Chains A and B, each alone.
Chain A
């Protein structure tokens, strides 16, 4: 079945970096972009960026520019998200999500149709 399995929980100190993995299975990895979305405790969903695993082209949320790096490894069907210079405000559950697409009346529509298992990142001194 189609699934995205993420790496385990992380505890980091302020100023550290964290790198989370998201391993895809059950579909052709290079055919779908992958989003990263995070959710702070008790808060809503925040889009972080998107990567095309085939070629590595990325688009990041402006507020994270310079701190976030998304990469992909087609040999292992895995995408990675690295966030640097962590602060307590980066404490959140981080999700990867597949960018699904459908054609409706001759237009392509995109959505997040498969979500990862989630990775909790706690930043604390």
Chain B
């Protein structure tokens, strides 16, 4: 199975901060990398697919980059509604593994 490792596991940030979350795959997944946001008690929500393609309705302050094994999710200016847990997920092969999550908290 492909292991997905996110860092950090949690971070504290203020509104307006630039936030970066990284995700590393245990082998190359080329561009088959998705990002999800999950708020407490809610189902995950797709943010980005294929590294950098924003899902419809997702604000442009979210962006993704990377290729192969190393990927990044960036929030350019953190908003109050962005405090949540973020997961990367590979869609290169089954099982479609997720990272362990990054909890973005209010500083």
Contact = CB atoms under 8 A, between A and B. Distances in A.
Interface stretch (B11-19, B20-28, B71-79, B93-101): B93-101
A115 B44 contact: yes
A95 interface: yes
Interface residues of A, number: 25
Count class of interface residues, chain B: 20 to 34
Contact of B100 (A44, A61, A97, A107): A44
Interface string A43-57: 011110010000000
Contacts of B50: 102, 104, 109, 111
Nearest to A109: B50
A112 B32 CA distance: 12
A113 B55 contact: yes
B53 A104 contact: yes
B67 interface: no
Interface in A52-101: 59, 61-62, 95, 97, 100
A125 to B, nearest CB: 26
Contacts of A46: 98
A44 B99 contact: yes
A117 B49 contact: no
Contact of B45 (A35, A115, A117): A115
A111 B46 contact: yes
Contacts of B43: 95, 97, 115-118
Interface string B87-107: 101010011111111000000
Nearest to A111: B49
A102 B53 CA distance: 10
A36 to B, nearest CB: 11
A19 interface: no
A61 B96 CA distance: 9
Nearest to B47: A111
Contacts of A13: none
A37 B38 CA distance: 13
11 contacts: A37-B44, A46-B98, A62-B95, A97-B44, A100-B46, A102-B49, A102-B50, A104-B50, A112-B36, A112-B89, A118-B43
B34 interface: yes
